[in-house]
């Protein structure tokens, strides 16, 4: 493998780590981390996000590179708008989730075995949810990813390797940050009032940022006008 390609792949890894810590990514995954009572689960939420994100980028990216095509601006922006909707949804469900957590704790004191089953199920759903969030983010970023890839590599197979290395970078970056974000939620797990405050603040941030994200795309960047045309 040429030195030039190795340096390009190294850049891809660094850009992947940097990409993982974009505000909309961190905010979305923090809503999952806020539900975790163990640090490992919080960390794994980041890994699953990275897997989902990489899968979408890879599939769409390779198709577009082979077809030498690109996603029309209207569609690319509409996929970005979908991220805003998702952030609002995640925010609202996170704000409301503390009622479910409280109910869960109440039931736990009455029926230990039944809740264990529910708890395991909840954990699996969280991982799938985290992967789905990654898939949506991957869809939204696929257009820009293809442009970046096509400008740095010479062939489809180099593009495939670049996207995968970029994906590894996003997994590493998100693993680190979801672990970091999960720490306060894990340590406050037994202090209900503090945990409730942290969880609801996370939900409010996600909701407000999602509304701002949609407004910026729709009004400032002109997506609503593109829809009407």
pLDDT digits (tens, 9 = 90+) for 116-125: 444 444 444 4
Could you give the C-alpha distances from 22 to 46, 65, 186, 197, in angstroms and in order? 13, 25, 23, 24
Distance (Å, whole) CA 62 – CA 82:
22
> Which pLDDT value is given to residue 117?
42
> Which pLDDT value is given to residue 102?
52
Domain ranges of the chain: 3-228
Which residue, 16, 65, 26, is CA-closest to 164? 16
Calculated CA dihedral for residues 134, 217, 23, 75, nearest 10 degrees: 20
Distance (Å, whole) CA 126 – CA 213:
24
> Which pLDDT value is given to residue 154?
75
> Which pLDDT value is given to residue 98?
65
Quick one: angle between helices 112-152 and 73-110, nearest 10?
A: 160
Instruction: Measure the CA angle with vertex 35, ends 31 and 36; round to 5°.
Output: 120
Which residue numbers in the chain have pLDDT < 50? 1, 106-110, 112-125
174: which 2 tokens? 């998100």
Distance (Å, whole) CA 123 – CA 195:
18
Cα radius of gyration rounded to whole Å, the chain: 19
Q: What's this model's pTM, rounded to 2 decimal places?
A: 0.83
Distance (Å, whole) CA 10 – CA 77:
29
* Residue in the block written with tokens 């810590």: 21
């Amino acid at each position: 493998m040429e030195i030039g390609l190795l340096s390009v792949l190294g850049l891809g890894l660094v850009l992947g780590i940097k990409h993982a810590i974009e505000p909309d990514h961190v905010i979305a995954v923090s809503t999952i981390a806020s539900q975790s009572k163990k640090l490992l689960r919080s960390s794994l939420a980041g890994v699953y996000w990275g897997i989902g994100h990489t899968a979408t980028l890879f599939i769409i990216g390779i198709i577009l590179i082979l077809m030498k095509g690109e996603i029309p601006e209207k569609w690319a922006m509409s996929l970005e708008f979908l991220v805003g909707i998702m952030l609002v949804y995640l925010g609202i469900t996170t704000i409301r989730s503390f009622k479910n957590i409280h109910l869960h704790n109440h039931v736990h004191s009455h029926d230990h075995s039944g809740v264990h089953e529910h708890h395991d199920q909840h954990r699996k759903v969280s991982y799938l949810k985290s992967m789905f969030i990654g898939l949506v983010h991957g869809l939204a970023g696929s257009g820009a990813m293809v442009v970046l890839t096509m400008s740095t590599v010479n062939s489809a197979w180099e593009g495939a390797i670049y996207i995968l290395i970029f994906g590894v970078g996003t997994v590493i970056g998100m693993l680190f940050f979801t672990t970091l974000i999960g720490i306060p939620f894990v340590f406050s797990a037994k202090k209900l009032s503090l945990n409730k405050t942290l969880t609801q603040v996370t939900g409010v941030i996600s909701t407000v940022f999602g509304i701002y994200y949609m407004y910026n795309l729709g009004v400032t960047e002109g997506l609503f006008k593109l829809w009407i045309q």
